[in-house]
Protein backbone atom coordinates (compact mmCIF):
# COMPACT_ATOMS: atom_id res chain seq x y z
CA UNK A 1 0.00 0.00 0.00
CA UNK A 2 2.80 2.42 0.86
CA UNK A 3 4.55 1.67 -2.43
CA UNK A 4 1.35 2.38 -4.39
CA UNK A 5 0.75 5.58 -2.41
CA UNK A 6 4.27 6.85 -3.14
CA UNK A 7 3.76 6.19 -6.85
CA UNK A 8 0.37 7.91 -6.84
CA UNK A 9 1.73 11.03 -5.11
CA UNK A 10 4.44 11.59 -7.73
CA UNK A 11 3.31 14.48 -9.96
CA UNK A 12 4.17 15.36 -13.54
CA UNK A 13 6.34 18.17 -12.18
CA UNK A 14 8.31 15.68 -10.08
CA UNK A 15 8.79 13.49 -13.14
CA UNK A 16 9.84 16.46 -15.27
CA UNK A 17 12.38 17.74 -12.76
CA UNK A 18 13.90 14.27 -12.50
CA UNK A 19 13.97 13.98 -16.29
CA UNK A 20 15.95 17.22 -16.67
CA UNK A 21 18.73 15.73 -14.55
CA UNK A 22 18.88 18.65 -12.08
CA UNK A 23 20.86 20.86 -14.49
CA UNK A 24 22.94 23.95 -13.86
CA UNK A 25 21.44 25.47 -17.03
CA UNK A 26 18.23 24.81 -18.97
CA UNK A 27 16.92 26.14 -22.28
CA UNK A 28 13.10 26.08 -22.29
CA UNK A 29 12.12 25.93 -25.98
CA UNK A 30 8.55 27.11 -26.57
CA UNK A 31 8.28 28.18 -22.94
CA UNK A 32 4.83 29.74 -23.33
CA UNK A 33 3.20 31.89 -20.70
CA UNK A 34 3.24 29.38 -17.85
CA UNK A 35 6.04 26.85 -18.26
CA UNK A 36 5.97 23.81 -15.95
CA UNK A 37 9.54 24.58 -14.90
CA UNK A 38 8.04 27.25 -12.64
CA UNK A 39 7.56 24.48 -10.07
CA UNK A 40 11.31 23.95 -9.64
CA UNK A 41 12.90 26.97 -11.31
CA UNK A 42 14.68 28.10 -8.13
CA UNK A 43 16.82 24.97 -8.29
CA UNK A 44 18.13 25.85 -11.77
CA UNK A 45 20.90 28.50 -11.66
CA UNK A 46 20.46 29.54 -15.31
CA UNK A 47 17.07 29.29 -17.00
CA UNK A 48 16.34 30.79 -20.43
CA UNK A 49 12.92 30.84 -22.09
CA UNK A 50 12.38 31.02 -25.86
CA UNK A 51 9.02 31.40 -27.58
CA UNK A 52 7.65 32.57 -30.91
CA UNK A 53 4.66 34.45 -29.45
CA UNK A 54 5.53 37.80 -27.86
CA UNK A 55 2.48 37.90 -25.57
CA UNK A 56 3.49 34.56 -24.02
CA UNK A 57 7.00 35.84 -23.41
CA UNK A 58 5.66 38.93 -21.65
CA UNK A 59 3.23 36.89 -19.52
CA UNK A 60 6.05 34.58 -18.44
CA UNK A 61 8.37 37.50 -17.78
CA UNK A 62 5.72 39.07 -15.52
CA UNK A 63 5.69 35.86 -13.45
CA UNK A 64 9.48 35.81 -13.23
CA UNK A 65 9.73 32.20 -14.37
CA UNK A 66 12.96 32.50 -16.39
CA UNK A 67 16.15 34.51 -15.98
CA UNK A 68 16.25 35.62 -19.62
CA UNK A 69 13.93 35.53 -22.62
CA UNK A 70 14.19 35.58 -26.39
CA UNK A 71 11.21 35.91 -28.73
CA UNK A 72 12.11 34.15 -31.96
CA UNK A 73 11.23 31.45 -34.47
CA UNK A 74 11.97 28.23 -32.61
CA UNK A 75 13.39 26.48 -35.65
CA UNK A 76 16.24 29.02 -35.64
CA UNK A 77 17.48 28.36 -32.09
CA UNK A 78 20.81 27.11 -33.42
CA UNK A 79 21.50 30.62 -34.77
CA UNK A 80 21.50 31.98 -31.20
CA UNK A 81 22.61 29.11 -28.97
CA UNK A 82 25.88 27.27 -29.66
CA UNK A 83 26.28 23.51 -29.45
CA UNK A 84 26.42 22.08 -25.90
CA UNK A 85 25.66 25.51 -24.38
CA UNK A 86 23.00 24.23 -21.92
CA UNK A 87 23.04 21.18 -19.68
CA UNK A 88 19.41 20.47 -20.57
CA UNK A 89 17.15 21.54 -23.44
CA UNK A 90 13.41 21.12 -22.86
CA UNK A 91 10.45 21.32 -25.25
CA UNK A 92 7.19 20.88 -23.36
CA UNK A 93 4.08 20.72 -25.57
CA UNK A 94 6.00 22.04 -28.56
CA UNK A 95 6.87 19.53 -31.29
CA UNK A 96 3.23 18.73 -32.04
CA UNK A 97 2.78 22.34 -33.19
CA UNK A 98 5.02 21.75 -36.22
CA UNK A 99 4.70 19.49 -39.25
CA UNK A 100 6.69 16.34 -38.56
CA UNK A 101 9.66 17.13 -40.82
CA UNK A 102 10.07 20.58 -39.26
CA UNK A 103 9.76 19.13 -35.76
CA UNK A 104 12.46 16.58 -36.54
CA UNK A 105 14.78 19.41 -37.52
CA UNK A 106 14.01 21.23 -34.28
CA UNK A 107 14.69 18.09 -32.25
CA UNK A 108 18.11 17.67 -33.88
CA UNK A 109 18.98 21.28 -33.06
CA UNK A 110 17.86 20.82 -29.46
CA UNK A 111 20.03 17.73 -29.12
CA UNK A 112 23.05 19.62 -30.45
CA UNK A 113 22.54 22.45 -27.96
CA UNK A 114 22.12 20.05 -25.02
CA UNK A 115 25.36 19.11 -23.27
CA UNK A 116 23.71 16.47 -21.10
CA UNK A 117 19.98 15.91 -21.64
CA UNK A 118 17.18 16.63 -24.11
CA UNK A 119 13.62 16.38 -22.76
CA UNK A 120 10.45 16.40 -24.86
CA UNK A 121 6.87 16.33 -23.59
CA UNK A 122 4.12 15.71 -26.13
CA UNK A 123 0.69 14.09 -26.53
CA UNK A 124 0.60 10.37 -27.26
CA UNK A 125 -0.39 10.37 -30.93
CA UNK A 126 -2.17 13.16 -32.79
CA UNK A 127 -4.40 15.29 -30.54
CA UNK A 128 -6.56 17.81 -32.44
CA UNK A 129 -6.17 21.37 -31.15
CA UNK A 130 -7.01 24.66 -32.81
CA UNK A 131 -5.84 28.22 -32.36
CA UNK A 132 -6.69 30.01 -29.13
CA UNK A 133 -5.77 33.12 -27.18
CA UNK A 134 -4.91 34.95 -30.38
CA UNK A 135 -1.96 32.63 -30.88
CA UNK A 136 -2.00 30.94 -34.28
CA UNK A 137 0.97 28.81 -33.20
CA UNK A 138 -1.27 26.79 -30.87
CA UNK A 139 -2.65 24.62 -33.66
CA UNK A 140 -1.44 21.02 -33.61
CA UNK A 141 0.13 19.82 -36.85
CA UNK A 142 1.66 16.45 -36.00
CA UNK A 143 1.35 13.49 -33.67
CA UNK A 144 4.11 11.49 -32.00
CA UNK A 145 4.00 7.89 -30.87
CA UNK A 146 6.07 5.90 -28.43
CA UNK A 147 7.69 4.12 -31.37
CA UNK A 148 8.60 7.46 -32.97
CA UNK A 149 10.45 8.56 -29.85
CA UNK A 150 12.10 5.20 -29.21
CA UNK A 151 13.42 5.26 -32.78
CA UNK A 152 15.04 8.62 -32.00
CA UNK A 153 16.81 7.13 -28.99
CA UNK A 154 14.55 8.47 -26.24
CA UNK A 155 13.45 6.76 -23.06
CA UNK A 156 9.67 7.23 -22.80
CA UNK A 157 7.51 7.56 -19.67
CA UNK A 158 3.70 7.62 -19.71
CA UNK A 159 2.14 10.75 -18.17
CA UNK A 160 -1.34 12.04 -17.24
CA UNK A 161 -3.09 8.71 -16.89
CA UNK A 162 -5.06 6.51 -19.27
CA UNK A 163 -5.32 8.07 -22.74
CA UNK A 164 -9.12 7.77 -23.34
CA UNK A 165 -9.96 9.85 -20.26
CA UNK A 166 -8.67 13.21 -21.54
CA UNK A 167 -9.12 15.28 -24.68
CA UNK A 168 -8.18 18.68 -26.14
CA UNK A 169 -6.11 20.85 -23.75
CA UNK A 170 -5.84 17.75 -21.49
CA UNK A 171 -9.37 18.33 -20.22
CA UNK A 172 -11.58 15.42 -19.09
CA UNK A 173 -13.85 14.10 -21.82
CA UNK A 174 -16.84 13.72 -19.48
CA UNK A 175 -18.57 15.50 -16.62
CA UNK A 176 -18.20 16.06 -13.78
CA UNK A 177 -14.68 17.09 -14.75
CA UNK A 178 -13.39 16.96 -11.17
CA UNK A 179 -14.35 13.29 -10.86
CA UNK A 180 -12.68 12.29 -14.12
CA UNK A 181 -9.54 14.20 -13.20
CA UNK A 182 -9.33 12.05 -10.07
CA UNK A 183 -9.88 8.89 -12.11
CA UNK A 184 -7.17 9.99 -14.54
CA UNK A 185 -4.78 10.67 -11.65
CA UNK A 186 -5.46 7.24 -10.16
CA UNK A 187 -4.47 5.56 -13.43
CA UNK A 188 -1.12 7.36 -13.65
CA UNK A 189 0.94 4.70 -11.80
CA UNK A 190 -0.44 2.10 -14.23
CA UNK A 191 0.58 3.92 -17.42
CA UNK A 192 3.96 5.25 -16.32
CA UNK A 193 5.75 2.09 -17.44
CA UNK A 194 3.24 1.48 -20.26
CA UNK A 195 3.40 4.74 -22.22
CA UNK A 196 1.41 3.44 -25.18
CA UNK A 197 -1.64 3.59 -22.90
CA UNK A 198 -0.89 7.07 -21.56
CA UNK A 199 -2.35 10.41 -22.59
CA UNK A 200 1.05 12.12 -22.89
CA UNK A 201 4.68 11.12 -23.28
CA UNK A 202 7.71 12.34 -21.35
CA UNK A 203 10.77 11.57 -23.46
CA UNK A 204 14.37 11.75 -22.24
CA UNK A 205 17.61 11.39 -24.19
CA UNK A 206 21.10 11.63 -22.74
CA UNK A 207 23.84 13.27 -24.79
CA UNK A 208 25.84 10.05 -24.93
CA UNK A 209 22.99 8.46 -26.92
CA UNK A 210 23.20 10.94 -29.80
CA UNK A 211 23.65 9.37 -33.21
pTM over 0.85: yes
**Beta carbons of 139 and 112 less than 8 angstroms apart:** no
Mean pLDDT of the chain: 94
Residue boundaries of the structural domains of the chain: 18-158+195-209
Q: Tell me what pLDDT residue 9 has.
A: 67
**Beta carbons of 113 and 86 less than 8 angstroms apart:** yes
Q: Tell me what pLDDT residue 8 has.
A: 60
96: left (phi over 0), alpha (psi -120 to 50) or beta: alpha
18-158+195-209: CATH topology: Rossmann fold (3.40.50)
Tens of pLDDT along 76-135? 999 999 999 999 999 999 999 999 999 999 999 999 999 999 999 999 999 999 877 777
Q: What contacts 14, CB < 8 A, 6 or more positions away?
A: none
**Beta carbons of 29 and 89 less than 8 angstroms apart:** yes
Q: Tell me what pLDDT residue 132 has.
A: 75
Amino acid sequence: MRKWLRRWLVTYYDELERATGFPESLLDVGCGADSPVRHFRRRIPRLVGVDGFAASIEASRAKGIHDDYICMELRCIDSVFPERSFDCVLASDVIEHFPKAQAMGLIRKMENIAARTTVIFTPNGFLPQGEHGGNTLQRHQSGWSVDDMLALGYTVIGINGWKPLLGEFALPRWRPAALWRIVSRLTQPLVRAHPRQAFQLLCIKNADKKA
